[in-house]
Amino acid sequence: MKLRVVPWVLPTAAVCVVILLVCAIRSGPRNPVALIRVVDAAGKPVAGAVITPDGLRTKPGPYESGHYGWRKESDWPANNPVSTDRDGFARVPYPKYVFERIEAGQISFSVNHPEFVPDRPFRTVTTTPPAGAPWRVWANNLWNRIRNRALIARPAPVVLQRGAVLKLSVRHDTAAPRDALLFAQAPETLYQDTNFWIRPEAGVIVTRRLAAGPQAVRAIQFDSNGSAWFSDVIRITAVSGQTNEAVVDLKPGVAVHGRLDASVPRPVTNGRVVAHVWPQGHEPRDSPPQWHAWSRIREDGSFDIGSLPAGNLEIVALCNGFVSTNGAGQFQTRHPQKHVLGTNDIEITLSMEPTARLEVLVLDAKGNPLKDARVSTWPNVRYGEWSATLLGQDCYHTADSLRDAQGTRAQRKWWFSRSAAFQATTDVSGVAVILNLPREANGCQVGHPRFSMPAMDDGSGQKRRQASMSLRPGQTNRVSVQLEPVEVSPITHY
């Protein structure tokens, strides 16, 4: 007996398969997922390591040198901490695009485990060429995979190291406050976690997770008034598995008493002054223990910043209409003014100069004024010729970061709760006004749900959506920008 196939069965089955595939794709993860493995020095899996993604780099090409922070956007996965399983694996979702159509190729993340030295590596999460790549790029990619016997690309495992033991004790006859909680700074603890330091007794602090090699460390205590006491920054050479002990003296922090020069009219409004202190004899690029603090400036132009350690002081001030004059530096950005802090308080007068006022007229694609467009610019201040951030917006205290390290990251508002600055929204006439800009601010961007700035080549092979400007301090500067519909010309690798 012959088996007859009903004519409509095969087409129907094919349609069902297609529907199932579409459903599987739609029900799958919205973002790509990196499978990260964490092992110890012997190659054994490390379970319970906490991975927290924090940044991205693009696929190879003109944009790959940049490091982009993790953003809170609707099409980005949240960078929630994830823990490795018993085989040392953790699944880390990441956005497909760093921005527009520029594809992500690497992610950066922190790795923490109570028995190992903290790490913050980069890992390549995909090696496929970006969309639009010419056939030669695809051919070279395939050949490299065949040659290296790596047809399936996987991120290299993260290898955690066992740490050295460091025990810091306060000398018994020191004048420092008795029985106060002891804190410490080391390069690995720029972002503190609850497991790095333990306190077996009063006046003693210990870590078993210090990285091997040369290290610079410092002990800190706070008295009943909240004032900080500091040890000297000491150098040690840590050896994994060995114990290093140091007995330290604590000295009270010093204060900076200052005022703005007479060029700033009184009353001073919206004034703030920010101080950053580097230990003498240590290079900022080595991330030695450093201290950061800020204070509001009074209407009479005076200010006080207390509880600072000895070292090289960098200080910058900003108020309505004025900014502290530029300190010495190698880059085309604002630099702090510099002083030396010893064992006594100091008094300083900050030289000031006028800031600029910027009016940006935003037009839509038809040349009409556009309301509710967000205009922003990004004048930076550079500390230690090493790190830069938005001028006058880094209003946090290192002291708070140490004390808040006892809680969760959600409780640490010393850095994550900074308010937006140097931004404004256009009114019905399409004009946005940004105040208090230093002369170094040389570009602005405009954001809108339906429109974007035309993409312009910046001369390095990259395209940017920003307008150039040259500011004259003490004056109103005007820039006009015409937008185009979103997605008319997305920025791509090729």
In percent, the amount of the chain with pLDDT more than 70 equals: 88
Q: How far apart are CA 425 and CA 448, in angstroms?
A: 10
Assess whether pLDDT exceeds 70 at residue 143.
Answer: yes
Confidence of residue 13 (pLDDT cuts 50, 70, 90): low
More confident residue, 225 or 23: 225
Burial 233-257 (b: 16+ CB within 10 A, else e): bbebebeeeeebeeebebbbbbbbe
Question: Is the pLDDT at 413 greater than 60, yes or no?
Answer: no
Could you tell me which CATH number the domain at 164-252 has? 2.60.40.10
Identify the band that residue 417 occupies on the pLDDT scale cut at 50, 70 and 90: very low
Residue 337 has pLDDT above 80, yes or no: yes
Does residue 42 register a pLDDT over 80? yes
Residue with tokens 């108020």: 319
- Give pLDDT tens digits for 250-285: 999 999 999 999 999 999 999 999 999 999 999 999
Amino acid at 482: Q
Q: Between 396 and 13, whose confidence is greater?
A: 396
Mean pLDDT over the full length of the chain: 88
Per-residue pLDDT at 411: 40
Q: Between 317 and 135, where is the model more confident?
A: 317
pLDDT in tens, 237-258: 999 989 999 999 999 999 999 9
Instruction: Please report the pLDDT score of residue 129 as a whole number.
Output: 86
Which residue, 320, 347, 338, is CA-closest to 254? 347
* pLDDT tens-digit readout, 65-113: 789 999 998 889 999 999 999 999 999 999 999 999 999 999 999 999 9
Q: Are strands 158-159 and 33-39 parallel, antiparallel or unpaired?
A: parallel
3-state SS, the chain, equals: CCCCCCCCHHHHHHHHHHHHHHHHHHHCCCCCEEEEEEECCCCCECCCCEEEEEEEEECCCCCCCCCEECCCCCCCCCCCCEECCCCCEEEEECCCEEECEEEEEEEEEEEECCCCCCECCEEECCCCCCCCCCHHHHHHHHHHHHHCCCCCCCCCCEECCCCEEEEEEECCCCCCCCCCCEEEECHHHCCCCCCCCECCCCCEEEEEEECCEEEEEEEEEECCCCCEEECCCEEEEECCCCEEEEEECCEECEEEEEEECCCCCCCCCCCEEEEEEECCCCCHHHCCCCEEEEEECCCCCEEEEEEECCEEEEEEEEECCEEECCCCCCCCCECCEEEEECCCCEEEEECEEECEEEEEEEECCCCCECCCCEEECCCEEEECCCEEEECCCCCCCHHHHHHHCCCCHHHCHHHHCCCCCCEEECCCCCEEEEEEECCCCCEEEEECCCEECCCEECCCCCEECCEECCCCCCCEEEEEEECEECCCCCCECC
Q: CA 172 from chain center: how many Å? A: 39
Average pLDDT over residues 394-414: 69
Structure confidence at residue 407 (pLDDT): 45
Separation between Cα atoms, residue 3 and residue 404, nearest integer Å: 76
| Comparison of pLDDT for 344 and 16, the residue scoring more | 344
Mean pLDDT over 430-453 rounds to 96
CATH of domain 355-379+422-494: 2.60.40.1120
Give the right CATH number for 33-159 from 3.30.70, 3.40.50, 1.20.120, 2.60.40.
2.60.40
409 has a pLDDT exceeding 50: no
**How far is Cα 263 from Cα 275, in angstroms, rounded to an integer?**
21
Cβ contacts of 169 within 8 Å, gap of 6 or more: 203, 204, 245, 246, 247, 248
Contact 145, 151 (CB under 8 A): yes
Higher pLDDT, 156 or 61: 156
Q: Structural domain boundaries of the chain?
A: 33-159, 164-252, 254-354, 355-379+422-494
CATH number, domain 254-354, options 3.40.50.11030, 2.60.40.10, 3.40.50.2300, 3.30.2130.10: 2.60.40.10
Instruction: Say which residue, 218 or 138, is predicted with more confidence.
Output: 218
What average pLDDT does this structure show over 357-382?
Answer: 97
Task: Give the Cα separation of 99 and 120 in Å (integer).
Answer: 23
- Token digits for 88? 């040392």
Residue 259 pLDDT: 98
What confidence tier does 22 reach under pLDDT thresholds 50, 70, 90? very low
Q: Are 461 and 62 in contact (CB under 8 A)?
A: yes
* Confidence bin at 412 (pLDDT 50/70/90): very low
Record the tokens describing residue 443, joined without a space.
């570009």
pLDDT the model gives residue 384: 95
